[in-house]
Amino acid sequence: MKSGFLEKLVARLDRVVPGEVQQLVTRLIHEKGFLEKVFEALHEGVIILDPKGVVGFLNLAACQFFGLDPAQATGKFISTQIRGLDWAALGKPGRTISRDLEVFYPENRYLNFYLAPIDGVEEEHEPLGYVMLVRDLTTTRAEAEKNLESERLNALTLLAAGVAHEIGNPLNSLDIHLQLLGRKLRKLESAERKPLEENLATARQEIQRLDLILKQFLNAVRPTVPHRERQDLHVLLHDTLRLLEPELESRSVAVELDLAESLPLAFIDPGQFQQVFYNLIRNAFQAIPAENGHITIRTRVSDFEYVISIEDNGTGISPEHMGALFEPYRTTKASGSGLGLLIVRRIIREHGGAIAIESEENQGTRVLINFPHTERPVRLLGAPDSVIDL
């Protein structure tokens, strides 16, 4: 339908002959239906209001954002339909407003709305009404939070690197002095020397242990670029289980493996993935309080991603704690660092994947990780028959 149809119609209303009316009304209905379809197809919410803030029209997206029923909301004051939106403070003639909103029902969303007056045909003071355009900012907000989190992690890394450096130097010097002491001890008589040498050996072992912990810690928190190679995830999984075997056996935890029959080689950083498995399996068995501990590890692969789940029948995670799982240094364990899950998530994200955790208190926890095949297969679509090869 050509634009300006309405204007033309209004201009020649006095000349419309009775026979033409039916045709014109059909065209009008058609135009209205067309516009409604356009509005309904928009991802943005559209609400048309009269000058007093009464809803005249709202599209599907607006209904979804605010959980409204169009039949009920039309004809009502906007303030009664969107609670917390004070029309008296918003609807000022001639003023355009842009504001952010957080909506909790039917879904927690961050919205931005833009309220603009619809000018009358004549230069009147009072606008014909207002149009409210609503955009969903939820994903952009999630993105911002992700950046904030990575900034936090960077700050943490810097701090950790600084502390590690400060501790590393005196450790080195301690080790050198102990070596010197050892040399002097050799000059003593055997009876006196033996117990002292034992003390010295223990002290040096402890220093080496501290040094190792420091190095591992730095490796864990330092952001890295994955050194990817073609790897069999099942081999990595078995290697990790072998590392953890003594701990698993000491607690008689049964590990059930439900592995995909054939898993194509993954293009991943093997060291990092071993760390992922290690942290997740260790979390699982640490959550198992006493007997009848059970851990199930599943691997699956689809056309475009790998899915791995690690499930335990341990203590589970309380709803209050669920929100803080990835916060650095948040731990419920006497000897935990509270960095394990944070590192796991960083590695999975660096591989383009995601982690999800489901848990029920006193029942257990399931951690799901998924990440894409790096070389995603593409499907070349067949050319339509009518296209002629040139």
CA atoms within 13 A on the CB side of 321: 16
- Applying CB under 6 A, the span of 38-46, 53-61, 259-267, 339-347 interacting with ligand ATP comes to 339-347
Whether 64 and 138 have beta carbons less than 8 Å apart is answered as no
Find the shortest distance in angstroms from Cβ 44 to Mg ion: 43
Tokens of 19: 């026979």
The answer to whether 295 contacts ligand ATP (rule: CB under 6 A) is no
Binding of ligand ATP by 297 (CB under 6 A) = no
Contact 91, 82 (CB under 8 A): no
Question: What's the rounded Cα separation, in Å, for the pair 208 and 202?
Answer: 10
315 neighbors 289 (Cβ within 8 angstroms): yes
Which residues make Cβ contacts (< 8 Å) with residue 25, sequence separation at least 6?
none
Residue choice 177, 227, 333, 376 for contact with ligand ATP (CB under 6 A): 333
- The nearest distance, CB 319 to ligand ATP, in angstroms, is 12
Q: Which residues fall within 8 angstroms of residue 367, CB to CB, at 6 or more apart?
A: 280, 283, 284, 309, 310, 311, 355, 356, 357
What is the residue whose two structure tokens read 């239906």?
A: 33
The answer to whether 340 contacts Mg ion (rule: CB under 5 A) is yes
Q: Based on CB atoms, which residue is closest to ligand ATP, 338 or 372? A: 338
- Which H or E run contains 295? strand 294-301
CB of 287 to ligand ATP, least distance (A): 3
Residue 123 in tokens:
């230069």
Which residues between 187 and 206 bind Mg ion (CB under 5 A)? none
In the complex, what is the shortest distance from the CB of residue 270 to ligand ATP, in angstroms, rounded to a whole number?
20
Judged by CB under 6 A, does residue 164 bind ligand ATP?
no
Shortest gap between Cβ of 291 and Mg ion (angstroms)?
22
**Window contacting ligand ATP (CB under 6 A); options: 92-100, 149-157, 198-206, 280-288:** 280-288
Residue 313 interacts with ligand ATP (CB under 6 A): yes or no: no
Give the residue nearest to ligand ATP (CB). Answer: 340
Q: Give the separation between CA 294 and CA 264, rounded to whole angstroms.
A: 27
Task: Give me the amino acid identity at 93.
Answer: P
Length of the chain measured in residues: 390
Owner of token pair 């979804």: 64
**279: contact with ligand ATP by CB under 6 A:** yes
Place of tokens 């606008």: 127
Interaction between residue 336 and ligand ATP (CB under 6 A)? yes
Residues near 60 by beta carbon (within 8 Å), at least 6 away in sequence: 40
Q: How far is the CB of 314 from ligand ATP (least distance, A)?
A: 5
Check residue 340 for interaction with ligand ATP (CB under 6 A).
Answer: yes
Both tokens assigned to 166: 């400060």
From the list 90-98, 144-152, 243-251, 340-348, the region that binds Mg ion by CB under 5 A is 340-348
Q: Does 332 bind ligand ATP (CB under 6 A)?
A: yes
Choose among Mg ion, ligand ATP, none what residue 338 binds, the Cβ cut-off being 5 to 8 Å by kind: ligand ATP
Q: Are 317 and 362 in contact (CB under 8 A)?
A: no
Q: 47 or 280, CB closer to Mg ion?
A: 280
- 309 scored as a contact of Mg ion (CB under 5 A): no
189: amino acid identity, one letter: E
Token representation of residue 55: 């809803």
Q: Which of 283, 313, 359, 370 binds Mg ion (CB under 5 A)?
A: 283
Provide the β-strand partners of residue 98: 114
Contact status: 339 vs ligand ATP (CB under 6 A): yes
Please report which helix (H) or strand (E) contains residue 33, including its range.
helix 18-41
By CB under 6 A, residue 331 contacts ligand ATP: yes
Binds ligand ATP by CB under 6 A, chosen from 224, 296, 299, 315: 315
The residues binding ligand ATP (CB under 6 A) are 279, 283-284, 287, 312, 314-317, 325, 331-333, 336-342, 365
The residues binding Mg ion (CB under 5 A) are 283, 340
